[in-house]
Amino acid sequence: MDQETTTWVLVALLVLALVGVVVAIVVGRRRSRAAAAAATARVEAAEAAHRQELERVSASHDEGVSSLEAQHARERDELEARRRDAEERAEQSQEFATRSMRWDEPSQRAVVDACTELGLDGVLVTNVVFVPVDAPRTRRFVAQVDHVLLLSSAAVVIENKGWKGVVLDGVQPRDVHSSIGTLFGDATFEPPFAVQVSRESPTSFRITSHEGRESPAAQVRRQAQRVSDLVGAETSRTQWFDTAVFYSHPDAEVWAAETDSTGAGVTTTIVAGGRQLRSFLERVGDRPRTLAPTRIDELAELFARHGADVRRFGAMAVPEGR
């Protein structure tokens, strides 16, 4: 091989080498671009996944915050409703207490004086105002009980009626007097009932009837059950309460049966005036002892928490242990 041929061979090899280098560079760049594109795609996919996760977490957080805010709003509204309900009940109880105490003071004095004269030991609580245990939560309602007499021999719920005029309790008008019967004609009342005849003017009368559930005897039995439920709920011990209706107005002319037994086995004593009150209390005081002084104190304190005016007499004038 001569020198010229050798030169061309070298040139050809050099060209081939350059072509190989160029091809390698081009292929390498393409691979680099593909790798870069793949890497970019992976980064973008990762970023997209990250954004989605952030959005999910943010949405979940917002939903959680909204749920908490809604729950807080519900709790706030419930607390506000309870506060308003408590205020309304307190105002209603205070209104009851103020109005009722004015009417019950004369009968309170009569009962305490009679007990003192008879030498009885006990407590008289007057004007107990409370929410009955079975009262519907959706209805504003409080019960008011005139008197609860606590003796060692009995606990008695007393319904005071300061009615004036002629009062018939369980006695038919025709059985009283012809003049009274004339006012009612042939009318007959179904026990339990009470009727009041009061004079509105020199020439006119007003007749008011209280029948069935609205009769004083039924009313006091209902109140006694509510008091019993209250005592059971707050002391975890049941307590039986006798019942009595006391017609206390000094100018009332009362015609009444001694007892009303229309209450499904429960007998209510009907008391008219001071003399019958004293006789009734004497009979109650002669019963066997069933209430210990500590129990009387417990009940008196319970009723005092419900706004009752507490009057002690005899040996119970000072609370037990004080």
**What tens digit of pLDDT does each residue of 200-248 get?**
888 888 999 999 999 999 999 999 999 999 999 999 999 999 999 999 9
Task: Tell me the pLDDT band of 59, cut-offs 50, 70 and 90.
Answer: confident
Q: Is 119 helix (H, G, I), strand (E, B) or coil?
A: coil
CA dist., res. 180 & res. 178, Å (int)? 5
CA dist., res. 276 & res. 106, Å (int)? 16
Query: pTM of the predicted model, to two decimals?
Result: 0.70
Q: Do the Cβ atoms of 194 and 210 come closer than 8 Å?
A: yes
Q: Do the Cβ atoms of 156 and 149 come closer than 8 Å?
A: yes
Distance of CA 39 to the CA centre of its chain: 70
pLDDT in tens, 247-293: 999 999 999 999 999 988 899 999 999 999 999 999 999 999 999 99
